Amino acid sequence: MPEGLIVKALSGYYYVLPQPAEAQAGAAAETIQCRARGLFKKQHISPLVGDRVSYELTDNGEGTVVAIEPRATELIRPPIANVDTAVLVFSVVEPNLSLQLLDKFLVHTEQARLDTIVVLTKTDLAGPEENEAAEAAAGLYRAIGYPVVTTSARKGEGVGRVKELLAGRIAVFSGQSGVGKSSLLNAIMPGLALSTNAISHRLGRGKHTTRHVELIAQPGGGWIADTPGFSQLDFQQLEAGDLGGCFKEMRELAPGCRFRGCQHEREPGCKVIGAASAGQVARTRYEHYLQFLTEIKDRKRRY
Ligand SMILES: Nc1nc2c(ncn2[C@@H]2O[C@H](COP(=O)(O)OP(=O)(O)OP(=O)(O)O)[C@@H](O)[C@H]2O)c(=O)[nH]1
Ligand SMILES: [Mg+2]
Ligand SMILES: [Zn+2]
């Protein structure tokens, strides 16, 4: 049975790139437009972009996805399988940088066990104060261990660095609408010409220009997925006790806490509380941790 890689999902169709072509980076290869087999729905399985699948050809030149290989990784928002790297794209302005939202995205990529890179965009649009705040944020996240690149797709700044970091990787771009995900990808791969759109100044956010998830082959090997922007993220799949493990710097401190399963809230002998009051864990990070913890516990209470 033929095998392939789902490179795009749109309106109930999965676009599967056949295996041998995929091995040649897939640049010019034709995809097969497939439906998912009916059984998947009954089993509550939906194929994802990034899935390695087996498919059958049907009479009309289309195909049916009949089997999905076990996934190495899986992200729910944006929905994608088998990526190794998440690129969290946040604009310095238009829309303004929100560290709370960034920390929320980081919890999700940590939970999915992805390597994560933070890219700050639109430095050319930002004033000196906003750029200073962005540099401070970059320093904060670098200290935690995340690569951070400040960029301007308009001026071509930082674009080469992002490209270097992603070479050979299977990466997904993730971030709010209008932050410049598609613009950055276009800058990384000249000739790509993904659609981009000015943000709505009335609403202060993007217009949801990108409507589907699509993997794009990197010329030198590896893939990058462009995705639709979103800003609503919940902690549906996360238990309160697992939240600390999704904050990299707290995860490293937790073994030193007096109590096993310490939630770093008000327990005595807590290393995280100690580090937060000494300024070794950033104030914003610890605050966001407590906010998310409350959010998770409130959710539990509601059910
Ligand atoms: N000045 C400036 N504008 C940028 C930069 N990057 C993106 N933009 C602009 O920001 C707007 C939104 O960019 P997009 O690339 O469409 O944003 P997106 O993240 O793909 O948005 P969705 O597809 O809706 O999720 C466009 O008008 C871009 O031209 C930049 O570095 N500098
Ligand atoms: Mg886009
Ligand atoms: Zn603790």
Give 253 Cα–ligand 3 centroid separation in angstroms: 8
> Is the peptide bond prior to 70 cis by the omega test (within 30 degrees of 0)?
no
Return d(Cα 80, Cα 87) in angstroms, integer: 13
| 193-204 tens-digit pLDDT | 899 999 988 888
Q: Establish whether domains 3-70 and 75-226 are of one fold.
A: no
Rounded Cα–Cα distance for residues 118 and 82 (Å): 19
Could you say which architecture CATH assigns to the domain 75-226?
3-Layer(aba) Sandwich (3.40)
Q: Residue 124: its pLDDT value, please?
A: 98
Q: Rounded to whole angstroms, how far apart are CA atoms 81 and 113?
A: 12
Nearest CA to ligand 1 atom 13: 180
Q: In whole angstroms, what is the distance from residue 15 CA to residue 141 CA? A: 36
35 CA → ligand 1 middle, Å:
32
Q: pLDDT confidence of 95, banded at 50, 70, 90? A: very high
Ligand 1 near 150 CB (within 6 A): no
Q: What is the pLDDT of residues 202-230, one digit of tens each?
A: 888 898 999 999 999 999 999 999 999 98
| Domain segments of the chain as ranges | 3-70, 75-226, 240-302
Instruction: Tell me the CA distances in angstroms from 134 to 55, 77, 79, 117, one per residue in order.
Output: 46, 25, 28, 15
Q: Which atom of ligand 1 is nearest to the CA of 179?
A: 19
Pocket of ligand 1 contains residue 186 by CB under 6 Å: no
User: Which residue, by CA, sits nearest to atom 6 of ligand 1?
Assistant: 180
CATH classification code of 3-70: 2.40.50.140
Strand extents, DSSP E, 142-285: 148-150, 170-174, 214-217, 223-226
Backbone torsion region of residue 44, taken as left when φ is above 0, otherwise alpha when ψ lies between -120 and 50, otherwise beta? left
The band of 299, judged by pLDDT with boundaries at 50, 70 and 90, is confident
Q: How confident is the model at residue 26 (pLDDT cuts 50, 70, 90)?
A: very low
| Structural element, H or E, at residue 74 | strand 74-75
| Mean pLDDT, the chain, whole residue set | 94
Please give the share of the chain, as a percent, with pLDDT higher than 70.
96
Q: Determine the average pLDDT of the residues in 152-175.
A: 98
Question: Given pLDDT bands bounded at 50, 70 and 90, which one contains residue 302?
Answer: low
Distance 96 CA to ligand 2 centre (A): 17
Query: What pLDDT, on the 0 to 100 scale, is given for residue 28?
Result: 55
Closest Cα to atom 16, ligand 1: which residue?
Answer: 196
Architecture of domain 240-302 in this structure: Orthogonal Bundle (1.10)
Question: How far is Cα 296 from Cα 243, in angstroms, rounded to an integer?
Answer: 9
Does residue 25 have a pLDDT over 70? no
With cut-offs at 50, 70 and 90, classify the pLDDT of residue 303. Answer: low
Find out whether the beta carbon of 91 lies less than 6 Å from any atom of ligand 1: no
Q: For residue 173, which atom of ligand 1 is closest to its CA?
A: 19
CB contact set of 70 (below 8 Å; sequence gap of 6+): none
State the pLDDT at residue 145.
Answer: 98
